[in-house]
Structure 1
Amino acid sequence: MKTNIKLNQNNLAEISKRISCPSYNRKNIKTGIVHVGIGGFHRAHEAYYTDQLLHDEAVKEWGICGVALLNFDTKIYNTLKEQDGLYTLVIKELDGSLTKRVIGSIVDYLYAPENPLKVIEKMASPDVKIITLTITEGGYNYNEATGAFDFDNPLIQHDLEFSQAPKTIFGYLTEALKLRKENGLKGVTIQSCDNIQGNGHMAKKMLLSYVKIAAPDLVYWIEKNVSFPNSMVDRITPATSPSDISNLLETSGIEDAWPVVCEPFKQWVIEDDFIAGRPAWETVGAQFVEDVVPFEKMKLSLLNAGHSVLGILGDLMGYATIDESVHNTAIKSFLTNYMNIEVTPTLAGLENVNLDAYKESLLQRFGNIYIKDQLDRICSESSAKFPIFILPTVNKQLKKNGSVEFASFVVAAWAIYSLGKNENGKPLLIKDAMKTILNEKAIAAKNNPKEFLEITSIFGKLKDSQTFVNAYTTAYNNIVTYGVEKCIIAINNKVIK
């Protein structure tokens, strides 16, 4: 029986006898990248790619400094600190086997609420060439209805008043770029790794909106010295469960307080626009292109929207995980029809992509019974996800007089979901910054379904489309009368019985 061993730098040589570990000398690695948002996805994606790159002994300047930005990031910061930035990545293969490896690319880590100035200074370090972000869709402070930066956000108001102790990414970036300018340093690349179409464009637009008020003299310098490449990121990474931690301990004898689990599939498509140099990520599987937009649209409107479809419908029907949801034949057929009938006609510029094969691969990935991606995670922050994943498809279909029957059904299901109970009467765990207003409008929708569409920060002017309102209202009333499963079977058959 193997002796248990804690994961840290001192024990790495011993751990390497059990599973794959970094073979490079981490003490010789400089931090050329600052990453904000060191959650599971970053550690399964960018940090993984970078770890593979660092195994080339000639690469020493691209280590990652992970920044825990928010107060509730205390746990991940403390875990990384105690484990010297190391963690185990557990890839759950389709056959049920586990591929385990220790990732060592996070060589520094900071907790922003504890020492904001230290984070600002790190971002302004001459060694740092790239600042990457996984701050979630809602972290960009974007108002869907107006398309503008939300200056009413209390945290933004705080940053404008207390610039040396910021609480948002915009406050930190502004102070760091200001310091780089004052120190006569070269510019930096800010790369979003979030699920937003045109994520680089969004990062630039929102940052400059803030800077024009907070530090207007900095705008010109940013436009000349900072690049914002778009990127498309993809790897299903469910929340780590207690059983994942105990299974790693039982099978490998490794005590890791927060391993990361993920699927085998990974994809990273990036526009090659790095003003201060970049790692050769293409040597370890990333793809650099001139225009990432077609890839973004494909992924956001198929994979991410597909997740939301499976999440909302499955949660209402009482399922707990994505694989359970997609293995319901009615839900699977509904999702397939949605992708083929409503999403595919909106996609273009994918001449070198086999779209049918991609959609088939999504169903296979969703059905991986070993991933167990929790529906409450998938459904979390739906108020930030729907405007990005689903509503662009709706608006494009409306412009071309195409079908919106499937998408309107999902929106109607979300309205009922927002009441807080599934069809079995059990409470739903709803995690959303707009939970209160969603619930209020969901209650009002019981008398008038259109009330849910009055949340203009989410739906914009969709309430003015009679075509959509009619489809949505019909779907809402049918779900209330017949339940989700009977309705989606009827929609799949094109007959309401």
Structure 2
Amino acid sequence: MSVRLAANSLSSLPGSVAVPRYDHSNLAAGIVHFGVGNFHRAHQAVYLDDLFNLGQDHDWGIVGAGVRANDAEMRKILAAQDYLSTVVEQEASGTTARITGPMVDFLDPGDPAAIIAKLADPAIRIVSLTITEGGYYLDAAGNFNPNHPDIVADAANPTAPRTVFGIILAGLRARREAGVEPFTIMCCDNIPHNGKVTLNAVAGLAALFDSEMADWVRRSVAFPNGMVDRITPATSDRERAMVSDEYAISDAWPVFCETFRQWVLEDNFPSGRPALEKVGVTFVDDVSPWELMKIRILNGGHAAIAYPSALMDIHFVHEAMEHPLVAAYLEKLTRDEIIPVVPPVPDTDLDAYRRKCAQRFANPRIGDTIQRLCLDGSNRQPKFILPSVEDRLNSGASITGLALVSAFWCRYCYGVTDSGTPIAPNDPNWDRLQAAAIRAKDDPKAFLEMKDIFGAAAEHRDYIAAFSNALGTIWEFGARDTLTRYIQGKL
């Protein structure tokens, strides 16, 4: 018999489940967070829960907010369980469960005026976001797109905004008019230079209707960059059943994640911040070295194993890592071609980080899928793979393995696995990609004609040759034999 998660049922939970050591009802709001999804509840909320468990900074409770339909669903579910969440950390050796409670309220997504009023409250000193990369209105080049219909609508009617950035601007304006210092805006999304991206979105929207306000935002509001990391799969009925069966908890939206977590933040919080350094957050002057390490080794590693695994009909990421060819491919690629173009990171052994990433990928309890890793390659390849290619080309170094990564992606975009199983569209640009991949079967350069993706590499003789050779080998011998040839140095 499972116990419904609520503040008054914590004492009835099994002793194996950790519960907050603080009085949840005594927390005061200090943060408004947009995008209360699984990653936020497995990352930022867990760090704050740890800090509150130390008996510190109880005036930094979280108020949830959002503007989308699924935000309303999350609000309804969390409100029914007093804003508590079950967080299950999973490793091959076992799982542990804890109840976290740093959230004190969740504002109605259908009432932007109420959200703006909360943003104007002087007690709110940080506004944080996990709205996914798609929520930042970026164009194909990764720049803020002022022509998006949502942005155009908010610019035309700034007193009744509907986007996150319009609402944030309205909150900032209210504080400015009241003589209240601005809150810090802290992006927690997995985007390079995420603080700068958020600044460009907020100031970019402001510039469309109030250039003076836009200048004030750039001068007066802090947007620290941060690097976040924790593998957090989606919640399904499988996870709900596991929480009920294994921990006797009835939680309508539990969070499952790995035990590993990392958060590196630039220490730029003029209005104050919680003492998160006491619970493992690393505060730095410049997050760039950590950010580049993660993007190239972890994200690049995910992109590398995704497409050959898909072509071999492998479903789960941990199953891919159990395949000796995939594991050896990842090791050789990251060690030989990626790590050499990753600048040193303070107090970090890059090869140890590489090994840790591989260990995390191999975690059998996470249930991460190859299909998820394959998603949105047209966005991920230019961020996670091609910058390493450019660095190596500029230094005259080999790019055999990195070219193979993109060749596997091209072969995947053809739309069938090596066994002939159809591949479902898995990219916003799928039609364009598939058309190019079909032409590339006979002319590999046809795929490289997408210059907005491949950039300068598309015109570099060495890259064209390496990509063409890799793609031809994949088509002739299949993914399995191509991996073998690469590992043996015969590609």
TM-score relative to the length of structure 2? 0.93
1:193 and 1:231 in contact (8 A); partners too: yes
Give the aligned partner of residue 101 of structure 1: 98
Q: Conserved in 2, the CA contact under 8 Å of 1:239 and 1:377?
A: no
Using the TM superposition, give the Cα deviation of residue 337 of structure 1 relative to its aligned residue in structure 2, in angstroms.
Answer: 1.6
Aligned amino acid, residue 46 of structure 1: Q
| 1:166-218 CA-partner distances (Å, limit 9, x unpaired) | 44333232222222222221011111222222222222234323322233121
Q: Which amino acid aligns with 2:440?
A: A
C-alpha deviation, 1:476, in angstroms: 1.8
Pairing partner for 1:336 from 331, 334, 345: 331
Is structure 2 residue 112 aligned with structure 1 residue 116? yes
Shift of 1:12: 2.6
Q: Do the aligned partners of residues 276 and 26 (structure 1) sit closer, same or farther apart at CA in structure 2, a change above 3 Å counting? A: same
Residue equivalent to 1:311: 306
1:132 aligns with 2:128: yes
1:122 shift after superposition? 2.5
- In structure 2, how many angstroms separate the alpha carbons of the residues matched to 1:55 and 1:244? 26
Structure 2: distance between partners of 1:74 and 1:450: 47
Specify the alignment match of 1:61 in structure 2: 59
CA distance in 1 between partners of 2:377 and 2:209 (Å): 30
1:322 aligns with 2:320: no
Correspondence for 2:34? 36
Q: Residue in 2 aligned with 1:464?
A: 459
Question: Structure 1 residue 50: deviation in Å?
Answer: 0.5
The alpha-carbon deviation at position 58 of structure 1 amounts to 4.3
Q: CA deviation at 1:100?
A: 0.3
Aligned to 1:217: 212
Cα distance between partner residues in 2 of 1:134 and 1:231: 12
Listed as ranges, the matches of 1:418-433 within 5 Å are 418-433=413-428
CA shift for structure 1 position 226? 1.0
- Report if the CA contact (8 A) 1:196-1:388 is conserved: no
After superposition, the Cα gap between the structure-2 partners of 1:279 and 1:423, relative to the gap in structure 1 and judged at 3 Å, is: same
Q: Which moved more, 1:58-67 or 1:11-20?
A: 11-20
| Aligned partner of 1:8 among 2, 6, 9 | 6
The equivalent of 1:263 in structure 2 is: 258
One of 40, 43, 46 as aligned partner of 1:45? 43
Q: How many aligned residue pairs are there?
A: 491
Greater alpha carbon shift after TM alignment, 187-196 vs 159-168: 159-168
Q: Which secondary structure state, in structure 2, belongs to the residue aligned with residue 233 of structure 1?
A: strand
CA distance, structure 2, for counterparts of residue 13 and residue 387 of structure 1: 50
Q: Could you report, residue by residue, the CA deviation over 1:49-103 in whole angstroms, capped at 9, with x for unpaired residues?
A: 00111123342211112223323444333322322221100011331x1110011
Task: Write out per-residue CA displacement over residues 242-279 of structure 1, whole angstroms, 9 at most, x where no aligned residue.
Answer: 22211211122111111111111111111111111000
> Aligned-pair distance for 1:164?
4.1
Taking the aligned partners of 2:455 and 2:168, their CA distance within structure 1 comes to: 29
Does 1:347 find its partner at 2:342?
yes
Report 1:269-288 matches (<5 A): 269-288=264-283
Matched residue type, 2:375: S
User: Matches of 1:294 and 1:200 in 2, distance apart?
Assistant: 15
Corresponding residue for 2:188? 193
Q: Give the aligned partner of residue 352 of structure 2.
A: 357
Q: SS state of the match for residue 428, structure 1?
A: coil
Kindly provide the CA deviation profile for residues 308-327 of structure 1, in whole angstroms up to 9, marking residues without a partner as x: 22222212211111111112
Structure 2 segments unaligned to the other structure (5+ residues)? none
The letter of the residue matching 2:398 is S
Query: 2: distance between equivalents of 1:173 and 1:165?
Result: 12
**3-state SS of paired residue (2:286):** coil
Q: Which aligned pairs between 1:235-246 and structure 2 lie closer than 5 A? A: 235-246=230-241
Contact residue 394 and residue 407 of structure 1 kept, 8 A: yes
Contact 1:137 1:385 in 2 (8 A): no
TM-score, normalised by the number of residues in structure 1: 0.92
**Deviation (angstroms), 1:343:** 1.2
Partners of 1:48 and 1:301 lie apart in 2 by 26
CA distance in 2, matches of 1:452, 1:474: 13
Q: Distance in 2 between the 1:65 and 1:450 partners?
A: 51
1:77 maps to amino acid? R
Alignment of 1:146-165 (within 5 A): 148-165=143-160
CA contact (8 A) 2:126 2:186 kept: yes
Aligned residues of 2:204 and 2:214 also touching (Cα < 8 A): no
Segments of 5+ residues of structure 1 without an aligned counterpart are none
Which letter does structure 2 place at the counterpart of 1:103? T
User: Contact between 2:155 and 2:206, CA under 8 Å: does it hold in 1?
Assistant: no
Following TM superposition, by how much is the alpha carbon of 1:487 offset from its aligned partner in structure 2, in angstroms?
A: 0.8
C-alpha contact 1:341 1:403 (8 A) present in aligned 2: no
Between 219-228 and 276-285, report the one with greater CA deviation: 219-228
Check 1:386–1:137 CA distance in 2 against 1; reply closer, same or farther (3 A cut). farther
Name the SS of the counterpart of 1:65 in structure 2. Answer: strand
Query: Against the structure 1 CA distance between its residues 401 and 123, is the aligned structure 2 distance closer, same or farther, given a 3 Å change threshold?
Result: farther
Could you tell me which amino acid in structure 1 is paired with residue 8 of structure 2?
A: N
Identity of aligned residues (%): 36
Change (3 A) 1:390 1:165: farther
Distance in 2 of aligned mates of 1:453 and 1:172: 40
